[in-house]
Structures are given as C-alpha cells and as structure tokens.
Structure 1
Amino acid sequence: MSVFTLPLGDDALLRPLEPWQAQEFLDHIDRARAIVDPWIPWAARSTDLASATAVLQRYADDQAADGGRIYGIWLAGTLVGGVMFTRFDAVSGVCEVGCWLEPAGQGHGLVTRACRLLIDWAFGERGMTRVEWWVSAGNTRSIEVARRLGMTREGVLRARYPHRGERHDSEVWALLAGDAPATGAKAELDGLMAAFLDAFTNTAGRVADVAAVRDLCIPQVTIVNNTGGEPVAYDLDGFVEPRQKLLTDGTLTEFSEWEVAERTEISGSIAHRFSDYRKSGVRDGARFEGAGRKITQFVRTPAGWRISSMAWDDE
C-alpha cells in the first residue's frame, strides 16, 4: 500500500495515480469509457498501454513542476475512478478540479469526498484563492457534484468546444477561499431542496423514489405547474403518483434535475426560495435538456423545515 493514502470510507482509498500503474489505469478506462469519454478528453486517447502511460506521465511531469495532479479512487481494491487538478497555478492562486468514475464506483459519494480533500488541501495547505470546476452543460452528474461541494455557478460559455461533430456549452462553477458554508436554517433548507430534486433522479440504473417527497412536505402542500396556459395545481398524491410511474415504467430514464442558482429569504418560521434549475433525461428514447424556475415556500414545523407550496415554470 502506498504511504500516500487517504481513506474515503466504504472500503475506498484515495492515492496518487502514477505511470507505473498504467495497465491498471487502462483496464479501468476500458470499463469506464462509455460514460467518461464524452467529458474527459484523455479518455478517448487512452486506448493502449503506451497512450495510457503518456497520460499519467504528463500528470507526473505537471506535478513535478507544481502544476496538475491526478489521484485514483480504489474501491475494495479496484481502481474505479479518480480526481485531479487539471490546472494548478500557485502564483495566481487559482486551480481547477475535475473527476471521473466508472459505474461500479457510483452511488457511494466517493467523488464528492475526494474532491473535498483536494479543495481543503488547496485552500488550507497551499493558500489558493479560487477553485474552479469547468463542466459540460450536459454532464449532469458532474454538475451535481459541484453543487454538493457548495460551488457557485458563475456562467455559461456557449458552444465553447467541439465533440463528435457538435459544439457544447461549458458551465463555470467556483469556490472561493472566503466562501462560508451555509449553516443553521439556510443549510437545512439547502438540504431539503436537494433531497426534493434527488427524489426524481433515476440515472445510472438508480430507481427514482418520488414517494420520498411526502416526507419533505406538509400534508396540505400545494404544487402548481404554471408552464404554458392554465395553471395546473396538485395535491400531494396527485403530484407524486404519476411521476413515480413515469420514472419507473421506462418512459423517462436517465433523468436528473438540479439547481443552478437560488435566492433564499428566511423570516422566523417561514421562508421562500427562488430557484433557477436545469434538467436532462431520455423520454421515449429521445434525449432532452430543459430549464426553468421554481418558487418554493417553507414552514418550520416541530419536525423541522417542510415545503408548504411550490410553483414552477419550464422554459
């Protein structure tokens, strides 16, 4: 075992990924290629031992120059993914973090925990000012990680890069050394909204659990779809049941929805939140992406904060 090893929980370890591990790295990329290739440029180039070695050697050279770095995540002894500083500029105080994961490593929170270790090291040990996260607008899983890390979405660079004959947008997320994590009621409301959106996720073979929304709302909640013409209002059963069916009968797959910006105001035991969100998935075999806005109202109950009403408008 490497002396440079950090535990991530769930029988997982984080340690440097070096050129001598190129065959293990190549075997892992072969397993991960289908879901990594669209987002990580070197995945398409790591096709044999020589090219896989070259990728790891480039990071080794970058690290020797105090630049980029790459680390692997091993789960139960198998390399399943990793995290990296794709850029590390100690002079300017700016670095960029990235990640990748094969299906066997998903669902454990490993990437989020590993990225937090890199971010804490960048801020605490190296005195960096800014950690960036550049991500394709279609890479929903990576965007979810940026949100869980507390990053702020700063903008979109439209048609920034080509891939497989199409030009793709890039989103820029960032965390500053002075950014304070949410605490108290704000942190609870952040968690409540994240849990609400997470209930609809059925990516990577995961089964959506829309029924979990019942525990996040008061029984008298009103939910309104104000997209298009007349508003459509739902009670809790009327909202949950058709969406549970839609997300579990094969009609809507690979679906996720996430906030890209929010503004929350709290006054005593009531609060409201204005959210911009994006979503993507496959419906009836056709991939789609969308965006919209939500207004959510909350009340504090003896059991904690709960959603009392919600209205949304899809673009």
Structure 2
Amino acid sequence: MERLGVLISAGLTPYSAWRHLLARSEPLLSPKNERQLLDDLGEGLPPTAALLAEAGRHPAGLAEGWRRLAAAWALAGESGAALSPSLHALAEALRSRAEIHHDLDVASAGPRSTLRLIAALPLLGVACGEALGFPVAATLVGTTPGRVLLAVGVALLLIAVFWARRILRAASRYAAPEDVLLDLTAIGLAGGGPPGGAREQAESWAEQCGLSLPLGGRRRLTEILELSEGAGVPAGLLLGSESIVARRLERTDLRRRAERAGVRLMLPLGLAALPSYICLGVFPLVLSLLNSTGLIGPAP
C-alpha cells in the first residue's frame, strides 16, 4: 500500500501504478484476478469501481481491505486530500487488522485443539479397547446394553462437539471495526473540509462501498469532533490517535474472548465428552469382560 501511494504521488495513473506494483511485488492477487483488475483500470473504469469489483472476487475477510481502499481512494479524490498520505494511513490500519486476525488465530489455537480432543476422545476409547483384544465394537452393536450405550454415547458426543463449536464461534465472532469511520473522516479533513462535511462524506462513501459502521465507531467520532471543537485542537491528529486506541482495544478484547473460550470448553469436555468416552469406551469394555467370563451373556 505504501508503494502504491508513492507511485501515485509521483504522477503515475492508477493503471500504471497498479501494473508496476503487481509486476514487481510479491504476488498480491491470483493471476486471473490480477488480469481482471488491470483490464478494468485499462478500460477506463474508475479506480473506486475497479477496487469494489476486485473486492467482490474475495471472501469477506479479504474483501474488507479492498472496500476500505476503494472508499479511501474515492474520498481522497472528492475531498481533495493527497492520496499518498491517505494510502499510508490505510496501510497502517490494514496491517493492524492483519495482526488482529493473526492474534485471534494464535489465541484460539488452544481451544481448537481442545475441540479436536473432545471429538476424538470417545472414538479413542473404542480403538483402545479393540487394541487390547476386547470386542468393544461387537459389544456396542450386538448386545442390548451395548446399543443403549452406543446411542447415549453418540448423542453425548454430538452435544459436546456442537456445544464446543458454539463457544468457539462466539469467541471468534469478528465485529465490524470501529476505526473505519475515524480513518475515513481523517482523510476528509485532510482535504480541508469542515468536520461535519468530512463526516458526511466518510459515512456516504463507507455505505457506498459496503463497509459496516458500528455504533461504537460513530460515538467515538462524535466525541473526538466535540473534543476538537471545544479544545481548539486539530481533529485529524485526534482521529489518528483514536484509531490506534480502537484497534488496540479490539485486539485486547479478542484475546480475552479466546482465553475465556479455553476455560468454557471445559464444560462440554467434562459434561458431555467424558461421559461419551465412558459410554463408548469404558462400559463396553466392562461388558465384554463380563461376557468373556460368562457372568452375563448376549441379550437374546
């Protein structure tokens, strides 16, 4: 993104800047998407429209970055702000966003491993019994008590996996970032517009580009603009620092949620997965031992 800003500030057209960037940088896009983006720009499609079209060719997580780039590009052109500083600021925001995703993946690695253990534990009990020479599987299928245990064990296993996945989804839920409106408004202010007008432009382009604007971000922006007006301090500087704070708080919240998920996963593990292991691995082993000693026989 920084390289793109430098090329644009040097006077290159969007098509030329993207062509040089894609030709000499590490692969940013698949060959098909790269050709499509250059074709769109080469045919005279406005950069904002070309970037939005590119966003449509990516999954939601990656599309957000392209949409933010499209909104920043359009807003800089409309407000008269220099595009290069705007792209530098956007690059910092997207870099922070990538770090947040990485932190979430790292923090949720432990809980996800626990989920795999929950799913494998009952099956491991059956395999261990068979490896020891006991007909655990035959007992589960061929006897009435075994079939009851099989039904209960499978039901408990499904409950454990479903419960654990819900906990992980709740921990990994990714809310719309609050820094989008702050960063876009800062671009509008850099063009020399009044705070109210810059905010309206930012909201308009964010909506046109399909970006979500959470209520928390709107509140932050209102507080910053009121503080700027009351203290006589440039709002652009305050918006930049507030964006950093918003991203930092978001990273902290995601880490905290992942840590809580690791603790909450003990509930499906203890209340469903372990009982499932007992039903599928321990009790059938006991039944097979009793059958082998003749104390009980298969159900007629």
TM-score range, shorter chain: under 0.3
Higher strand share: 1
Greater relative CO (CA pairs within 8 A, separation 6+): 2
Q: TM-score, normalised by structure 2?
A: 0.28
TM-score under structure 1 length normalisation: 0.27
Q: Greater share of helix residues, 1 or 2?
A: 2
User: Which is greater in Rg?
Assistant: 2
